[in-house]
Amino acid sequence: MSRVTMVQISSPLNQTKTRPMKVICLFLACWLSTVGLVQREDKDIMDKLILDPSLKTFTNLIVKAGLVETLKAEGPLTVFAPNDAAFAKMPSATLEGLKRNKVLLRKALSYHIFNGKVLSKDFKDGSLKMQSGDLVLVKVRLGPPLTINGRSILTPDIETSNGVIHVISTIMTPPPKQAKTP
């Protein structure tokens, strides 16, 4: 009975041919990621909002309200981002009024941010307390769409390095405050 033994022969010639190629590949990968041609998985919520062309109005309002650092923070956060079509449904006078009042704008946008990461598969009927301090209602049906405060979630589960974004069809407005009776 004969036995075959395999031996790998390593020569300095093989190493010198592959080393320059490895260096070139590493350099190319670094350069491509620097110029943005390679998608990296380390984008935070703000970075992903900026990259989404359907969320320009929401993104601009986040900047105007001074909430950029909130959405770049460690998190985790869940953001319910109204798309541009949602803002197009809003009366222009209302939108302009919000833009002029940073306190109201910040409160309105904070009603779209939840402290914690909630993926669509984790939603249950109930409510979430948003950063604004107000509650939103979550309603889960057997089939799509999942709704948050009666608004359809159009694009769920855009994961980021510090949470998740759900794109919604309509702007959410906090419930009116109840007048206190003496």
DSSP symbols for 36-81: T-S--TT--HHHHHHH-GGGHHHHHHHHHHT-HHHHHSS--EEEEE
Amino acid (1-letter code) at residue 175: P
Q: What is the pLDDT of residue 87?
A: 95
Q: How confident is the model at residue 17 (pLDDT cuts 50, 70, 90)?
A: low
Q: What is the pTM of this model?
A: 0.73
Q: What pLDDT score was predicted for residue 42? A: 81
Amino acid at 36: G
Question: What is residue 37's predicted lDDT score, i.e. its pLDDT?
Answer: 45
Structure tokens at 59: 């993104």
- Asked if residue 21 has pLDDT above 70, the reply is no
29-38, 98-107, 165-174: segment of lowest average pLDDT = 29-38
CB–CB of 81/167 below 8 Å? yes
Looking at every residue in the chain, the average pLDDT score rounds to 80
Greatest mean pLDDT range, 11-20, 108-117, 137-146: 108-117
Please give the helix or strand (H or E) that residue 139 lies within, else none: strand 135-139
The residue assigned the tokens 């449904």 is 89
